[in-house]
Amino acid sequence: MVRDSRSPGDGSGEKNKALTRRQFLSRAWWAASGLLVVEASAGLVASLWPKLKAGSFGTKVRVASVEEVRAMPVGTITYFAEQRFYLSRVESGFLALYRKCVHLGCVIPWLADESSEDDLADKGRFNCPCHGGIYDRYGLVHAGPPPRPLDLFPISVENGEVIVDTGTVIQRSAFDESQVTKI
Ligand code: FES
């Protein structure tokens, strides 16, 4: 006599159903966990990699028209605070000086009434408030611990507009005429 192994009452059918339910729940749990991990990772990456707003520090910044910058007298320093640089009008053209002190990174203010350290004007120099670093309009060091001149950003002209690329920092050990952008 052959017995029906799935006959009612022996409990094996219920056991199979229970196993299936358990598997389903387990898979659903893993799927939900996986989704959570993916979402959390995406959020973390997004927060570590903030989107740069056009025209802000880290992007290419429109400074002014070619005509406007050409009208700046030699010795003029124009501060672009949000974009973190100074546009310095030197004899043969322009330098975009990163405002970060190359000693320990303090923000260097332009002091228009202090005595000048260059021959472009009688007054004006950068004074780092942290350890007394002093720089001239070329970004060259005249006093204090900074080990090299201020870093530069590249300047270009696009469609009649002067552009400074604040996403590209140029380090230098001395001044060279090739660093000046002639406009
Ligand atoms: S951080 Fe500017 S001199 Fe030290």
pLDDT tens for 156-180 read: 999 999 999 999 999 999 999 999 9
pLDDT of residue 67: 97
The helix (run of H) or strand (run of E) holding residue 27 is helix 12-48
pLDDT of residue 54: 82
Q: Mean pLDDT across the stretch 51-61?
A: 88
pLDDT of residue 26: 78
Using 50, 70 and 90 to split pLDDT, how confident is the model at 48?
A: low
Q: Which atom of ligand 1 is nearest to the CA of 108?
A: 2
pTM of the entire predicted model: 0.74
pLDDT of residue 72: 97
Q: Which atom of ligand 1 is nearest to the CA of 101?
A: 2
- Ligand 1 cavity residues, CB under 6 Å: 101, 103-104, 106, 128, 130-131, 133, 144-146
pLDDT at 1 over 50: no
Name the fold adopted by 60-179: Rieske Iron-sulfur Protein (2.102.10)
Name residues whose C-beta falls within 8 Å of residue 66's C-beta, 6 or more positions apart in sequence: 157, 160, 161, 162, 183
Q: Which of 162, 108, 168 is nearest to 140 (CA)?
A: 108
- Taking CA atoms only, the protein residue closest to ligand 1 atom 1 is 104
Residue by residue, DSSP assigns 43-64 as HHHHHHSPPPPTTSTTSEEEEE
Ligand 1 centroid vs 148 CA: distance in angstroms? Answer: 11
Residue 181 DSSP label: B
Q: Which atom of ligand 1 is nearest to the CA of 146?
A: 3
Report strand pairing: 110-115 vs 93-98.
unpaired
Q: Which atom of ligand 1 is nearest to the CA of 133?
A: 3
Sole residue written with tokens 């590249």 = 154
Sole residue written with tokens 């009008």 = 89
Specify which residues 135 forms β-bridges with: 126, 141
Ligand 1 centroid vs 83 CA: distance in angstroms? Answer: 20
Rounded-to-integer distance, Cα 85 and Cα 88, Å: 9
Chain centre to alpha carbon of residue 3: 77
pLDDT at 130 over 80: yes
Using 50, 70 and 90 to split pLDDT, how confident is the model at 15?
A: low
